[in-house]
């Protein structure tokens, strides 16, 4: 009983305490209730947690104001690696048995939402503001029952190391985003993304590849095609300025 009262006091009364004193008290007084809070982790004001034993915060993790980390089930887990930053208003929610894991030095931008049974984001990723990553789908096969009563399907989402997702990107369940990929602002990812691809559009398509080998191959194909046609094709190379028009800058 005492521990429950103390936990309620720590999570509710200390959540709004401002300044250095506030985040120092939260770091040390929250620790007994969490799966793990490593040294240097900083929790800013008004961050909401639920099922704290399932939540682990790595060294020098930063959670900005008004974030929410929620494990819906006793067996679900949220794991943040070292030097992870969740900017203001980020919402991370596992379902009943799932796990959401963020690799070292990954940044999640303001008001992004991660929800589902299995989401794995690698190291050194940049996730811009208002990104939606949903690793679940509603079942709707039975037209005689309300959709909300038919349960969910889960496949899982993997975002590999060193990816950049522009503002407003949406990642749907069952997708793997390959290492080093860049996803342009507003794109909707419905299929697996190859490594080092630059993706644009709804649904997203490959604009080009970042590696010199992959870039040269389409150019050679275009050159061969032009040499056989009576009329030349209009083509313009995609440069970094074109790409920056599609992708958001980090704040």
**Contact (Cβ atoms closer than 8 angstroms) between residue 173 and residue 116:** yes
The position carrying tokens 């991370």 is: 92
User: Can you tell me the distance from the alpha carbon of 123 to that of 205, in angstroms, rounded to the nearest whole number?
Assistant: 24
Contacts of 70 (CB under 8 A, 6+ apart): 48, 49, 50, 51, 91, 92, 93, 94
For every residue of 137-195, which 3-state class applies, written as one string?
EECCCCCCCCHHHCCEECCCEEECCCCEECCCCEECCCCEECCCCEECCCCEECCCECC
Candidates 32, 27, 34; CA nearest to 49 is 34
Q: Known catalytic residue: 138?
A: yes
Which residues lie across from 78 on neighbouring strands? 55, 100
State the catalytic residue, choosing from 46, 95, 130, 138: 138
**Contact (Cβ atoms closer than 8 angstroms) between residue 203 and residue 190:** yes
The dihedrals phi and psi of 214, each to the nearest 5 degrees, come to -75, -35
Q: Is the dihedral of CA 129, 188, 102, 66 positive or negative?
A: positive
User: Can you tell me the distance from the alpha carbon of 209 to that of 194, in angstroms, rounded to the nearest whole number?
Assistant: 9
Catalytic residues: 138
């Amino acid at each position: 009983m005492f521990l429950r009262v103390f936990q309620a006091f720590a999570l509710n009364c200390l959540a709004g305490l401002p300044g250095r004193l506030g985040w120092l008290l939260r770091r040390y007084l929250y620790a007994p209730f969490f799966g793990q809070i490593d040294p240097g982790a900083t929790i800013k004001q008004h961050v909401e947690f639920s099922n704290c034993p399932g939540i682990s915060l790595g060294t020098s993790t930063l959670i900005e104001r008004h974030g929410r980390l929620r494990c819906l089930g006793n067996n679900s887990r949220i794991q943040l690696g070292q030097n992870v930053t969740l900017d203001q208003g980020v919402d991370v929610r596992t379902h009943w048995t799932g796990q959401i894991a963020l690799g070292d030095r990954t940044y999640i931008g303001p008001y992004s939402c991660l929800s589902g049974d299995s989401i794995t984001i690698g190291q050194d990723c940049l996730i811009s503001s208002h990104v939606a990553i949903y690793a679940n789908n509603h079942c709707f096969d039975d037209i005689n029952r309300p959709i909300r009563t038919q349960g969910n399907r889960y496949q899982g989402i993997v975002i590999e190391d060193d990816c950049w997702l522009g503002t407003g990107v949406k990642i749907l369940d069952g997708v793997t985003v390959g290492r080093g990929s860049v996803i342009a602002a507003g794109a909707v990812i419905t299929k697996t993304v190859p490594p080092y691809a630059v993706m644009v559009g709804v649904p997203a398509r490959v604009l080009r590849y970042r590696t010199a080998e992959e870039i040269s191959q389409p150019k050679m194909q275009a050159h061969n095609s032009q040499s056989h046609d009576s009329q030349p094709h209009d083509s313009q190379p995609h440069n970094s300025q074109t790409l920056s028009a599609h992708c958001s800058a980090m704040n």
